[in-house]
Amino acid sequence: MSKVRFGVAMSLDGFIAGPQQSRDNPLGLGGMRLHDWVFPLEAFRRQHGETGGITNASTQIVEEAMTDAGAFLMGAHMFGGHDPDWTGWWGPNPPYHAPVFVLTHHPRAPLVMEGGTTFNFVTEGLASAMALARAAAGNKDVVVAGGASVIRQCLNAGLVDEINVSQVPVILGSGERLFGDLRPDLKLQQVRVVEAPGVTHLRYRVGG
């Protein structure tokens, strides 16, 4: 059964990016440390067209993140802004290999990339973007790719079925907080914990 889900790496004090984010440093000061556990993995390197790498308990998590992903939803900040010449952080062959719907206030024609990724720019708001993503995904999942603001909007609108957090033993002190300003009646059920080198992977079902 298809669902809406997201997966992020988060610091121990609740941030998914550090302060002073910019196009040159999209994860902010110290933000790259949140992903030190994933960069050496063979599964991650394979998804980005590279070879080599290691296998450990995080391998399953990385592979699951892309399995059954039929469409992606992200904010304009996650994509990198509204510069009409900008094509994203990921080079000519982004790792999504599926339709990506970008929430923005700036109209733009679809951006077709290699490997099956097309960035579609939606100016009609979250509900419209989610409806388009669901339609494109069919019986597969919609993955909310970020950033934190879009994730919170989806949670507050009751659109998310599953939360995946990779908790990293890093303190950032400030930056982009994931779980701020959420509806107080949000209910989560923990369904899995996976310990791995440098990270603990947590899965929650939303509701119930």
CATH homologous superfamily for the domain 4-20+27-206: Dihydrofolate Reductase, subunit A (3.40.430.10)
Q: How far apart are the C-alpha atoms of 181 and 107, rounded to whole Å?
A: 28
Q: Which two tokens stand for residue 28?
A: 């902010």
Q: How far apart are the C-alpha atoms of 105 and 190, rounded to whole Å?
A: 36
Q: Are 18 and 152 in contact (CB under 8 A)?
A: no
| Best CA proximity match to 27, nearest among 17, 39, 36 | 17
As beta bridge partners, residue 101 has 73, 120
Q: Are 78 and 90 in contact (CB under 8 A)?
A: no
Q: Which residues have CB under 8 Å from 108's CB, separation 6+? A: 82, 84, 121
pLDDT tens track for 41-75: 999 999 888 999 999 999 999 999 989 999 999 99
Q: Are 12 and 30 in contact (CB under 8 A)?
A: no
HEC letters along 88-122: CCCCCCCCCCCEEEEECCCCCCCEECHHHCEEEEE
Q: How far apart are the C-alpha atoms of 130 and 112, rounded to whole Å?
A: 20
How many CB atoms within 10 Å of residue 122? Answer: 21
Q: Are strands 69-75 and 99-103 parallel, antiparallel or unpaired?
A: parallel
Tens-level pLDDT at each residue, the chain (208 residues): 689 999 999 999 999 999 998 888 889 999 999 999 999 999 999 988 899 999 999 999 999 998 999 999 999 999 998 889 999 999 999 999 999 999 999 999 999 999 999 999 999 999 999 999 999 999 999 999 999 999 999 999 999 999 999 999 999 999 999 998 899 999 999 999 999 999 999 999 998 6
